[in-house]
Amino acid sequence: MKTTQFSSSSSDRRIGALLRHLTAGSDSDHLSSVYASPTSGVTGGSVFAHLVQAPEDPILGVTVAYNKDPSPVKLNLGVGAYRTEEGKPLVLNVVRKAEQQLINDRTRIKEYLPIVGLVEFNKLSAKLILGADSPAIRENRITTVECLSGTGSLRVGGEFLAKHYHQKTIYITQPTWGNHPKIFTLAGLTVKTYRYYDPATRGLNFQGLLEDLGAAPAGSIVLLHACAHNPTGVDPTIQQWEQIRQLMRSKGLMSFFDSAYQGFASGSLDTDAKPIRMFVADGGECLVAQSYAKNMGLYGERVGALSIVCKSADVAGRVESQLKLVIRPMYSSPPIHGASIVAVILRDKNLFNEWTLELKAMADRIISMRKQLFEALRTRGTPGDWSHIIKQIGMFTFTGLNPAQVSFMTKEYHIYMTSDGRISMAGLSSKTVPHLADAIHAVVTKSV
Ligand code: KET
């Protein structure tokens, strides 16, 4: 086996080096060759000297640049992270309560979780996304594993598919969240795109989507944003979802849902999960990656889940056994704290209800930011049609501003956003809307 050869040859090399070192005696030339080995970094150059400086991440790098800016009016609309009206990060009240419960419970321990994570969390997460009355849950033909937030769930799902699914190509929307192509390529899949957004209408290119999925080889994997599409804020209607479902099932395409914003699109957890539930109700198989980063504000706790809905309980059991083989060498087992918070909230009716209210309040504040920004541009007489600001859904507005315009706004107005013109509406507040509207007005009325 490859691995055995590797370890024996590397230990042979180490023993060899040691023997040469011990037998070298006063042979200072030999010694110096040992000490000057390129890995010592003392006298020789670094073995990493050839590395070029990697660029910052297109999304998280925006925060890095923002943090370096001393301007008092600076505004970070880059990363999709919720801020209060005061521009501060928010820890939900219900999360504070759950954490207090956890701290008060002296029986809690810090043992490793199983490879699949916190079992109660997994069950509750499946219920949250598929609905309590889901046939897949009733028939026990689903496996759910706790993963490191949405990203980790996508990566584990991607690696599982690369290992065990007969088709290795995944189709992602054009455009999509910048991390998708990287996650799936590194997972071992081939990434292709399907048409999704029409810049002319700033809406869905439904015809293009149907054509591209219709032309995809049978069995291909298709990544679907469950709701609140990132970066465009454009979602299919329920009727369009139904057409997508029929097309995908007729061609045997495998659906992989990315659900990073459940509750953020409409304010309702159930409404936002509808497309996924349609794909489960027909009895077919699918994958779902869930994140609690946004909807429970648990960003840095890194809590999420991967569910794989199968045709039978028997298959689901074997799928789970293989998922464990993907996870164990990757990070062994997931963290305990975030999943415990989620479990406390989801299992308790009162806390759950309180969460839905706080979630709705976040979604409503974002919608109100849309209205305020739209109004602010209207009152300034800013040229162009800005109605997409109020039509688009979820955390982001895909403004249509180009990279040169974005860079002007950053330089002149200290407004930070991704170069594709996406702004996080959740980063805005009533106080900062006028500043953003001034910047947009300035940039579209001058030629940059
Ligand atoms: N899917 C989508 C569509 C998504 O926008 C994000 C995060 C994730 C998954 C993963 O989130 P996680 O924190 O791993 O649960 N998007 C925001 C943050 C980021 O880029 O990491 C963003 O687009 O700003």
Q: How far apart are CA 79 and CA 76, in angstroms?
A: 8
How far is the C-alpha of 239 from the C-alpha of 373, rounded, in Å?
A: 30
* Radius of gyration from C-alpha coordinates of the chain: 25
CA of 446 to the centre of ligand 1 (A): 33
Angle at 248 between CA 126 and CA 155, to 5 degrees: 50
Ligand 1 in reach of 291 Cβ (< 6 A): yes
Active site residue 355: no
* Smallest CA separation from ligand 1 atom 11, residue: 150
Q: Is 27 a catalytic residue?
A: no
Return the pLDDT at 5.
Answer: 44
Candidate of 151, 153, 301 to mutate for ligand 1, largest count of ligand atoms within 8 Å of Cβ: 151
- Cα 437–chain centre separation: 29
Q: Rounded distance, CA 288 to CA 294, Å?
A: 16
Catalytic site residue 386?
no
Task: Give me the catalytic one of 74, 97, 177, 386.
Answer: 177
80 lines ligand 1 (CB under 6 A): yes
Query: Ligand 1 mean position to 177 CA, how many Å?
Result: 7
Helix (H) / strand (E) element for 258: namely: strand 254-259
CB of residue 258 inside a 6 A radius of ligand 1? yes
Give the separation between CA 402 and CA 400, rounded to whole angstroms: 6
**ω into 175 cis (within 30 of 0):** yes
For residue 180, report the distance from its CA to the centre of ligand 1, in Å: 9
For the Cβ of 293 lying below 6 angstroms from any atom of ligand 1, the answer is: yes
Q: Which of 294, 355, 386, 438 is catalytic?
A: 294
| CB of 351 closer than 8 Å to CB of 344 | yes
Q: Which of 291, 397, 419, 424 to mutate to test the pocket of ligand 1 (most atoms within 8 A of CB)?
A: 291
Nearest CA to ligand 1 atom 20: 59
| Contact (Cβ atoms closer than 8 angstroms) between residue 66 and residue 416 | yes
Q: What per-residue confidence (pLDDT) applies to 446?
A: 85
Q: What is the pLDDT along the chain (448 residues), one digit of tens a residue?
A: 344 444 444 445 444 444 444 444 444 444 444 444 555 555 679 999 999 999 999 899 999 999 999 999 999 999 999 999 999 999 999 999 999 999 999 999 999 999 999 999 999 999 999 999 999 999 999 999 999 999 999 999 999 999 999 999 999 999 999 999 999 999 999 999 999 999 999 999 999 999 999 999 999 999 999 999 999 999 999 999 999 999 999 999 999 999 999 999 999 999 999 999 999 999 999 999 999 999 999 999 999 999 999 999 999 999 999 999 999 999 999 999 999 999 999 999 999 999 999 999 999 999 999 999 999 999 999 999 999 999 999 999 999 999 999 999 999 999 999 999 999 999 999 999 999 999 999 999 986 4
Whether 265 and 232 have beta carbons less than 8 Å apart is answered as no
The pTM of the whole model exceeds 0.85 = yes
Q: Is the peptide bond before 38 cis (omega within 30 degrees of 0)?
A: no
Query: Residue 333 contacts by C-beta under 8 Å, 6 or more apart in sequence?
Result: 112, 113, 114, 115, 117, 327
The pLDDT value given to residue 44: 78
Given 212, 258, 420, 438, the catalytic residue: 258
d(CA 27, CA 20): 10
Mutate to test the pocket of ligand 1, among 177, 256, 302, 395 (most ligand atoms within 8 A of CB): 177
263 neighbors 272 (Cβ within 8 angstroms):
yes
Alpha helices in 36-84 (DSSP H): 60-68
Q: CA separation (Å) from 420 to 148, 296, 407?
A: 27, 27, 10
